[in-house]
Structure 1
């Protein structure tokens, strides 16, 4: 597939001078001592960057160096800044480099789209938010988001909302074979357990429009003020209430000291999605996310698809011999089918 490439360092744009030109200098700029900050949100070509200072953090507005390209900086990125990084009103810094990412969550517009769309960088937990009713759960969408998370190497967490309208038992049982942890919430419910699993993590919230994702974020972070909306009674679909991704700091857990508040964790809220293309995910990268399955699949015949009915697939042999649970293989193959 084709992937849109981007530069992560302004130096990458430097090249040998063309003929009949006189370069101003032979030296490339050195940004090794430039200040580092984290991208909080992106809005019409302006970036909010959180920069840690010796006494307090600063909220800096920045633009991006032209050489970084159109999609070179996303929420969660750690970037290097030059220019005015004071954060004072009316000032503007410039992003000149993106630090190496630990993870990148991506999707494509649909399964025929050859271009990856990075959503969030450096997240270590993927919270898939889905409603138990109004709108009803879409397991196909859950499976697709899970595939993208496993491909990116991000720990998944399934969060079931609106538990006052329907029970979670069926969905919990469906994803238990994959070892996906589940949290269940309803309006006004105690969120202590949810806060605990988010504490100290950088969690990206992803979900279908109308599942109550923004409502949950507002309950976890009272000053988040994320927009909320109702589900259309005719179509059964929710409308987009968040137009851009934003990183929000979680308040410290009860009993935590203010000194440790900065490490309380982050929630990265993303706009609701109605589709999740996976043309960037390969069969090999998906099975590699499951160590036990990958070890068994290594003995499969060359070119084995690992799908149901694949001739002499070692996964089926392992089930027959009792070395692999049939429910785990079935759940894996459901994801495999959704990603192809």
Structure 2
């Protein structure tokens, strides 16, 4: 359920155990991460030793800092990523939301989009429409109005879900509303304005079945070394028109004869989504260079 300083919290048959790694596992390149399914051996003192890590069915990965090709697993065996944004306080940021979606798509993880704080705005359908048109499941929520909470809870039940999104959008309040006492960690602002955060992931059990995973390091990360092709995966609606582009390798930037640009000009495609795609593509191309 969590890993910190060589100590692990493991959920086993309804009980939480404190565990350490068997020596040979410490020597492997693949770290034990939150979400891993493990075989443990109970010790006489009530602690446990992790003997084996089972094969992962999915993983959330990031590029290893300082390396062009290396990757690091952040969390394993996930079923979906819930990306939470807010109508206001802070305002909805299409580009930032699309960044989170791109990271999830690149890791082949289904996306659940949550538009929170619906009580603070009136343009909710306008915000949701481009994502629904792209095929994403969108849930509208408001804690004060108790709006969408049952739907959100049902979509988390029985699944392992990473809940992420920009700071201040109400992720912690939203989870506490569906299960009192369940809160994500937030970065504390120091006296001089610096934000103290942790990048270690942590898993929380849901009473109705399933788990939510808090990955603070995901909130401020860039594009994790995504390729242009992986960026395109976060914008599936572009594919409907891309076949009509003059050039097979069209990136839908300034190329002549781009059917995607024409579709946006005709209102058949969200202009804000196309603009967001272009910004992310430029960032991804820049991130493809070796890190200093």
Alpha carbons of 1:109 and 1:295: their partners in 2 closer, same or farther (altered >3 Å)? same
State the distance in 1 between where 2:125 and 2:249 align: 34
Alpha carbons of 1:302 and 1:174: their partners in 2 closer, same or farther (altered >3 Å)? closer
Aligned equivalent of 1:85, options 14, 38, 42 = 42
Alignment gaps of 5+ in structure 2: 285-292
Contact 2:104–2:111 (CA under 8 A) maintained in structure 1: yes
Match in the other structure for 1:67: 27
For 1:92-140, what per-residue CA distance to the aligned partner results, in whole angstroms no more than 9, with x for missing partners?
41344x3322222234599x97354432222121111122222222222
1:45-64 alignment to 2 at 5 Å? 45-52=6-13, 56-57=14-15, 59-63=17-21
Structure 1 position 338, deviation (Å): 1.1
Alignment gaps of 5+ in structure 1: 1-39, 253-263
RMSD after superposition: 3.8
Question: TM (normalized to structure 1)?
Answer: 0.65
1:240-319 alignment to 2 at 5 Å? 244-252=200-208, 264-271=209-216, 275-287=220-232, 304-313=249-258, 319=263
Number of residues of Structure 1 aligned to a counterpart in Structure 2:
274
Alpha carbons of 1:174 and 1:63: their partners in 2 closer, same or farther (altered >3 Å)? same
1:76-225 alignment to 2 at 5 Å? 76-81=35-40, 84-85=41-42, 91-96=47-52, 98-108=53-63, 114=68, 116-167=71-122, 168-190=124-146, 191-225=149-183
Question: TM (normalized to structure 2)?
Answer: 0.74
Structure 1 position 330, deviation (Å): 6.8
State the distance in 1 between where 2:278 and 2:17 align: 42
Structure 1 position 223, deviation (Å): 3.4
Contact 2:133–2:237 (CA under 8 A) maintained in structure 1: no
Structure 1 position 230, deviation (Å): 8.6
For 1:135-192, what per-residue CA distance to the aligned partner results, in whole angstroms no more than 9, with x for missing partners?
2222222111111111111111121222232332332134233222222222344311
Structure 1 position 242, deviation (Å): 6.7
Contact 1:125–1:157 (CA under 8 A) maintained in structure 2: yes
Contact 1:128–1:207 (CA under 8 A) maintained in structure 2: yes
Structure 1 position 68, deviation (Å): 2.0
Greater radius of gyration (CA): 1
State the distance in 2 between where 1:171 and 1:215 align: 21
Structure 1 position 244, deviation (Å): 3.5
